[in-house]
């Protein structure tokens, strides 16, 4: 690994062409974790850094964070908007993305129609998180520039389907580019996902064990020392399954919600308030563990923990992913 990152080739795919970046690697937006520092480091290294608008308490603080990123890099970056009704800040945050000319918005949950229309009007792109074909078809018909296919084993809200099936299945049925998310920690996986039809990857968990991530050291160490089977899905954080590392506290807390709560989360009259209350309580637990130390450890991470061995700067993570990918690419992908 002697070559400098700048010496490495670009990896040209539909995603790098759409965004004008060097590598088709997005550092996925992470609630309470991604900040301008991490975003700038990833984008400057040739990937695309991303952060959720809700990482800031107020819309004005969010606008300041975007301006900080724009002051430190001229390269593309992304903002994540939750586009469902439970997000009271959606309209304001979308207006800010438009005013600040954010190059890429990544939507999750809900209906991205308005976001796509407004971002396209200023020449920016919109990628939509999806976990199944029906929703992927819907966002494609609304004009999404790409889908981010979140598979099982992903950190955060994991999808139900293995990437081994989800990526080629979406590829067979969609015309827009597919970005694979879930479990990616090493370059060989990017090569495999490219063979299956992905035009890029979105990586979350690997960027928690990262020098720039401002999380408690115990969280980073838990990622390095966990095995794939330590990852559990819990509904206790947002009402829908979120991947967490099994700890004495999460085991005690349990992973299922009560029948009454499940009913209230489905009922059209109580759904919105219930979702907001559950998400608020869940985010308090996550926040405590991120800022730590605490014995109430609730650490979100995906199965890719098993392939993560050290805490490194974002630029080194990108460089290693690219070198590992190219090593495989040279020996297998591009064989005549």
Chosen residue from 125, 300, 318, 322 binding ligand FMN by CB under 6 A: 300
Total residues at interface with ligand FMN (CB under 6 A) = 25
Query: How many other C-beta atoms can be found within 10 angstroms of the C-beta atom of residue 40?
Result: 21
321 lies in the binding site for ligand FMN (CB under 6 A)? no
Q: What stretches of 176-268 show up as alpha helix (H) in DSSP?
A: 187-196, 217-225, 248-253, 259-266
Q: Are 167 and 197 in contact (CB under 8 A)?
A: yes
Distances (CA, A) of 64 to 23, 89, 144, 314: 27, 16, 27, 22
Show the 3-state SS of 7-60. Answer: HCCCCCCHHHHHHCCCCCEEECCCCCCCCHHHHHHHHHCCCEEEEEHHHCCCHH
Q: Is the dihedral of CA 209, 211, 212, 218 positive or negative?
A: positive
Chosen residue from 29, 49, 103, 177 binding ligand FMN by CB under 6 A: 29
- Closest separation in Å from C-beta 81 to ligand FMN: 9
Which CB sits closer to ligand FMN, 161 or 300?
300
112 lies in the binding site for ligand FMN (CB under 6 A)? no
192 lies in the binding site for ligand FMN (CB under 6 A)? no
- Closest separation in Å from C-beta 254 to ligand FMN: 20
Which CB sits closer to ligand FMN, 31 or 169?
31
Chosen residue from 69, 154, 285, 308 binding ligand FMN by CB under 6 A: 154
Q: Are 179 and 250 in contact (CB under 8 A)?
A: no
- The vertex-83 CA angle with 82 and 85, nearest 5°, equals 105
Which CB sits closer to ligand FMN, 80 or 161?
80
* Residues whose CB falls within 8 Å of the CB of residue 18, separated by 6 or more in sequence, listed in order: 125, 145, 146, 177
- Closest separation in Å from C-beta 288 to ligand FMN: 14
Instruction: State the binding string over 207-246 for ligand FMN (x if CB under 6 A, else -).
Output: ----------------------------------------
Chosen residue from 24, 28, 103, 329 binding ligand FMN by CB under 6 A: 28
Distance in angstroms (rounded) separating the CA atoms of residues 133 and 121: 27
115 lies in the binding site for ligand FMN (CB under 6 A)? no
Which CB sits closer to ligand FMN, 96 or 181?
181
179 lies in the binding site for ligand FMN (CB under 6 A)? no
- Which residues bind to ligand FMN, rule: CB under 6 A? 28-31, 33, 52, 80, 108, 129, 150, 154-156, 181-184, 202-205, 300-302, 304
């Amino acid at each position: 690994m002697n070559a400098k990152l700048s010496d490495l080739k670009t990896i040209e795919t539909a995603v790098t062409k759409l965004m004008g970046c060097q590598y088709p690697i997005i550092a996925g937006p992470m609630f309470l974790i991604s900040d301008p520092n991490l975003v700038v480091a990833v984008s400057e290294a040739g990937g695309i850094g991303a952060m959720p608008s809700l990482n800031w308490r107020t819309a004005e603080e969010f606008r300041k964070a975007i301006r900080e990123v724009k002051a430190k890099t001229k390269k593309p970056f992304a903002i994540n908007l939750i586009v469902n009704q439970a997000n009271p800040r959606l309209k304001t945050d979308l207006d800010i993305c438009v005013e600040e000319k954010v190059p890429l918005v990544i939507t999750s949950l809900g209906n991205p129609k308005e976001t796509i229309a407004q971002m396209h009007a200023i020449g920016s792109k919109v990628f939509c998180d999806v976990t199944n074909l029906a929703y992927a078809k819907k966002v494609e018909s609304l004009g999404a520039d790409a889908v981010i296919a979140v598979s099982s084993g992903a950190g955060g809200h994991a999808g139900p389907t293995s990437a081994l099936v989800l990526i080629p299945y979406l590829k067979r049925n969609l015309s827009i580019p597919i970005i694979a998310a879930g479990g990616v920690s090493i370059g060989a996986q990017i090569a495999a996902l490219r063979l299956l039809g992905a035009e890029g990857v979105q990586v979350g968990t690997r960027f928690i064990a990262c020098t720039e991530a401002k999380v408690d050291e115990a969280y980073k160490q838990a990622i390095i020392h966990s095995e794939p089977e330590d990852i559990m899905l819990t509904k206790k954080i947002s009402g829908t399954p979120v991947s967490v590392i099994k700890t004495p506290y999460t085991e005690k807390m349990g992973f299922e919600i009560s029948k009454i709560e499940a009913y209230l989360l489905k009922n059209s009259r109580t759904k919105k308030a219930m979702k907001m209350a559950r998400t608020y309580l869940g985010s308090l637990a996550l926040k405590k563990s991120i800022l730590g130390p605490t014995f109430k450890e609730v650490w979100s991470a995906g199965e890719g923990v098993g392939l993560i061995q050290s805490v490194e700067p974002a630029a080194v993570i990108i460089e290693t992913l690219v070198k590992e990918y190219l090593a495989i690419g040279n020996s297998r992908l591009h064989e005549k």
